[in-house]
Structure 1
Amino acid sequence: MSTNAIEMLQFNCTTCPSECLLTVEVERSPDGAVVEVRSVTGNSCPRGNKFAHQELTCPMRVLTTTVVVSGGDEALLPVRTAEAIPLALHAQAMSLIRGLVVDAPIRMSDVVLPNLLDTGTDLIASMDIGPA
């Protein structure tokens, strides 16, 4: 006899402007981990199904923050990951990024840190910063 719990969740899909309200049936183990996504309804396109599975098994987010600039006309450079990375890695990524200092000048989309935490995703500049 299974001790897993069946749970119904509702959340919005954020993959497009429609923001469909998804109803998702999941099976959770006694420790709360998702064992299986049993069904997804409410999505008006296939992306909603994919989003629900991703969100419940390995949520991904784009990480945005700032890094210190040396020799620039601004003190801080806004940066972001070029693609979403696992949400579980955000704290570790922030610990690494916190120690970064970039030298000006820097252009938008320049790679500030390649292959962040072996995710295959670069940390890139979100604006231009000229020399002081």
Structure 2
Amino acid sequence: MKSSIRISLRNGERIFVNGAVLQVDRKVSLALLNDAIFLLESQVMQVEDATTPLRQLYFIVQMMLMNPAEMPRAIELCSKHLQALREASESAEILSGLRAVENLIVGGRYFESLKTIRGLFATERQILDSVREEPPIRAA
């Protein structure tokens, strides 16, 4: 028998479960007793925060969880975005992470893929910061 997942929510907090948005009006603890796809409000990225390639990937995968009705379109967009990231990246850590993300998504493990993507944000930030610091190349 699969163990339940216990979630504690504060007054006014939202949780996204299988595409439904639930908001509580008081502090509450929930037990999810079967398989459910969920995101806590604190894990939800707003569109204006999807400002880098990996954050955009996170947002796309997040939409898969939050709007299952649009899953086929989101999967297609995710596949294209993953391909573009693989072609643009030279970082072994990013490339390895993208392979893991793709395998998790293919396996239907979207929540775990979000966790993997979040784990790559610091590396992406370092790469983007180093690119900004490099002086432009001058022609001879």
Tell me the TM-score range normalised by the shorter chain: under 0.3
Higher strand share: 1
Q: TM-score, normalised by structure 2?
A: 0.26
Bigger Rg, which one = 1
More helix by share: 2
